[in-house]
Chain A
Amino acid sequence: MKKIINDPGTVVAESLRGLALAHSDILRVQEDPAVVVRADAPVAGKVAVISGGGSGHEPLHGGFVGQGMLAAAVPGPVFTSPTPDAVQAAVQASASDAGALLIVKNYTGDVLNFETAAELAAAEGADVRSVVIDDDVAVADSTFTAGRRGVGGTVLLEKLAGAAAERGDALDAVEAVARKVIGQVRSIGVALTPPTVPHVGEPSFTLADDEIEFGIGIHGEPGRERIKAEPADALVARMVEAVAADLPFSSGDEVLLFTNSMGGTPPIELYLAHGIAERLLAERGIVVRRRLVGPYITSLEMQGISLTLLKLDDELTELWDAPVHTAALRRGV
């Protein structure tokens, strides 16, 4: 393992120190438990949208703290959800009387810890709600399993719920926006190489040179199947088919297309894939009305991409276009 680190045990804390120095105009970092908070939090009268989860997915979530998006982020250890007291600390640091909405990705650890935190916060009289995002079409959705994972759609959800909070929506309304987004967003991911978790020191899985893991999650956990490597046209077509067929997205739909790098895929390949995806969606009569392209929800240095489709209406489009000022996403301010 070659990584620019000192000690696997201090990776997250040292990285957060750098984040705080690089973006002191936007955010501040509290230590023990680690919490990233909007510089001006708590903002009176506005709902605090809070998210978190294991570290290693940067810029998710700390990179999205700021005006128009998250009030706070709770980074756990690498690929491990934060604990309930860390989530509570984020609520305390960022929530005004308007309450807080927790955005939870559907992973067992995240759900259990955030659930416990929400119960504890409610017991102390805070108005805290939570929503669980489960946009990954790669895994089975059933009441007898853990259900679908929360993946790329999380980035869009944080932006849209954050914009609703920023315009002054009450907690009920922010929660309603979040539930609408969760109902209309779907994702699929692929991996070409594994990530290496610092405290493990070895790759999380092995893939032959000519193999691709189709339906990967954001920790490198497998999804649907392992396939032979194929040219970008064929691979992206397979991804578009998987994600568009699920909701389903059909001719005439207006969407936001989010093409995401899992960390190790360079911009040249990412834009190449994005171009193919747009062409394929156009062939299906699906209108791409807004785009996001870049490494926004990653899995350390794993090579791979994910595609996320969000069905847009006028309200979601307006919220997407609203100003945002965070370390990783900045527009209109």
Chain B
Amino acid sequence: MACTTESVAEALRAVASVVAEHRVELIELDRAIGDADHGENLNRGFTAVVAAIETVPETPGAVLKTAATTLISKVGGAAGPLYGTAFLRAATKLGDRSEVDAEAVAELLAAALEGVRARGKAEVGDATMVDALAPAVEAARGAVADGVAAVLTAAADAADRGAESTVDLVPRKGRASYLGERAVGHLDPGARSTALVLRALAEAAK
């Protein structure tokens, strides 16, 4: 089954509610290795996204684009440009099509990953969002035959494992990189939030 504009908007509302629910957890993860603003910033951003799509734009791509510009203008920090770029590239990938099928979902996740890589100049193994998003994209591609919900569930499962893998890594990007070896043993807040967002999308698609 393909997603309509309204179901994309509904999925973003679900993301906002999951982010709000995990605000303190993300703050705590960030407090250990960064500056404790990740949960606060994402919550501020997705709260603004929900308000911005109150009048739902006409296409799924337009919904994602509204989310992108809202995140860029409300989140700040590193997460604003990174999440904003991810949503913007996903929106661009969708163009003006009216429905999103499983293949398109996998494609837009890949586009989001490329955007985050380009903006953050990070690769797998640097202990960032990319460690969750890259395996998610690969898993999503493998599940295209099974529909949208399966694609997103596979992506969320892979993102969870990818985020967990950051615990053993020495961060090389972002504020955690200043700790070097001392950050080993900590879950990267950006990878964790990426996994949470994908899980929220997967649950919404069920």
Contact = CB atoms under 8 A, between A and B. Distances in A.
A219 B33 CA distance: 11
B49 to A, nearest CB: 14
Q: Chain A interface: which size bin? A: 35 or more
Given A77-B76, A80-B41, A112 B119 contact: yes
Nearest to B69: A85
B172 interface: yes
B81 to A, nearest CB: 4
A107 B76 contact: no
A223 interface: yes
Interface residues of chain B: helix, strand, loop or mixed (majority): helix
A221 B73 contact: no
Contact of B173 (A140, A145, A204, A221): A145
Given A107-B175, A108-B175, A76 B76 contact: yes
Interface in B32-91: 33-37, 40-41, 44, 72-82
A217 B178 contact: yes
- Specify which of B35, B40, B79, B81 lies most central, judged by the most chain A CB atoms within 10 Å of its CB: B35
A140 B182 CA distance: 13
A305 B41 CA distance: 28
Nearest to A144: B172
Contacts of A146: 172-175, 177-178
A144 B123 CA distance: 10
Contact of B37 (A77, A145, A223): A77
Interface residues of B, number: 32
Contacts of A187: none
Given A85-B73, A145-B173, A112 B36 contact: no
B147 interface: no
Contact of B120 (A112, A149, A223): A112
A323 interface: no
Interface in A229-263: none
A260 B194 CA distance: 38
A221 B175 contact: yes
B31 A145 contact: no
A59 to B, nearest CB: 20
Contact of A221 (B35, B81, B119, B120): B35
Nearest to A226: B182
B75 A222 contact: no
Nearest to B24: A200
A57 to B, nearest CB: 12
Contacts of B74: 83
Contacts of A295: none
B39 to A, nearest CB: 9
Contacts of A202: 31
B36 A197 contact: yes
B36 A204 contact: yes
18 contacts: A77-B37, A77-B41, A77-B44, A79-B37, A81-B77, A81-B78, A83-B80, A108-B78, A108-B120, A113-B81, A115-B81, A146-B172, A146-B175, A200-B27, A204-B31, A204-B35, A221-B34, A221-B179
Interface of B: 27, 31, 33-37, 40-41, 44, 72-82, 119-120, 172-175, 177-180, 182
Q: Which 10 A-B residue pairs are closest in the complex by CB-CB distance?
A: A112-B81, A109-B77, A109-B78, A219-B35, A108-B78, A80-B76, A80-B77, A139-B178, A146-B177, A145-B177
Interface of A: 54, 76-85, 107-109, 112-113, 115-116, 138-140, 144-146, 149, 197, 199-200, 202, 204-205, 217, 219-223
